[in-house]
A and B are shown apart, each in its own frame.
Chain A
Amino acid sequence: MSGVYQPLTIGFGAMSAIVATYVIHRMNVVDEDRVPLALHPVRMLQYWVWLMVEIAKSNIAVTKIILARDMPIRQNFFTAPCTEKTELAQVIFANSITLTPGTITVETEDDHFWVHALAYSADDPDALMDMDARVLAVETGGRA
């Protein structure tokens, strides 16, 4: 990836890859349960685009709060239901919540997350349920 393709450099890369693989093999740490990549690719792309728009919107909202003279903070700590089945989809959902400024996933349990919000409004849980439904659509390939 450095644009240098001399045999020595490539050799070093190949050597370290082989050594790393050997060490990991010796350590026996590759666990048996493979993680199947069971995500719907088209839905994933749609979700990314939607997530980018959400991030932009909440960034502007938090920026306004920071720059406002009296900083209208209204903190709350609440649960958000999580309907995803696989761990991967749950991680995507939790990371999406944290990635949008203004909300942070603090604690994850089996079927719900504890979310901390900076400026809580009454329709925040509904927005999170909407995000949850979209991640579920990515997981199963159904309609959002």
Chain B
Amino acid sequence: MSLFVDILSWACILGGGFFTIIGAVGTLRFPDFWSRLHAVSVSDSAGMLLFILGMCLQAGLTLVTLKLVLIGIFLFITGPTATHAVANAALVTGLRPPIANDIEPEVEGGA
């Protein structure tokens, strides 16, 4: 049983590490500011959630797990809020997102 939990938790932790690295790779590879924001959100959601889940399984039913769950909930709420703040600041200061050539742009006026 404990072997099963160990395997599951290590799978979660390794998966979290994989998605975090993918987020970093995407941040480096993507061409501009707006697409890089998307790459970061991979490590923000999948990476963070899998790491926390894996550590919860390692800790078992203890106070540590309760604290990890609380950290997860707070990150779950503040992560997208921070991303939104960065994106909104970029838009307000006049950095317009690039739009693919084959798409008709909607009327500007978001800010």
Contacts and interface: CB of A to CB of B under 8 A. Distances in A.
B103 A76 contact: yes
A138 B77 CA distance: 17
A116 to B, nearest CB: 5
Q: B-side binding surface: helix, strand, loop or mixed? A: helix
Contacts of B83: 98, 104
Contacts of B106: 77-79
Interface residues of A, number: 36
Most-contacted residue by chain A among B30, B31, B41 (CB, 10 A): B41
Contacts of B79: 99
Name A's interface SS.
Answer: mixed
B88 A107 contact: yes
Nearest to A60: B46
A66 B40 CA distance: 11
Interface stretch (A12-20, A22-30, A67-75): A67-75
Contacts of B46: 55-56, 59, 101
Interface of B: 19, 22, 25-26, 29-31, 34-35, 37-39, 41-42, 44-46, 49, 63, 66-67, 76-77, 79-81, 83-84, 87-88, 91, 96-100, 102-103, 105-106, 110-111
Interface of A: 1-3, 55-56, 59, 62-63, 65-67, 71, 73-79, 94-96, 98-107, 114, 116, 118, 120
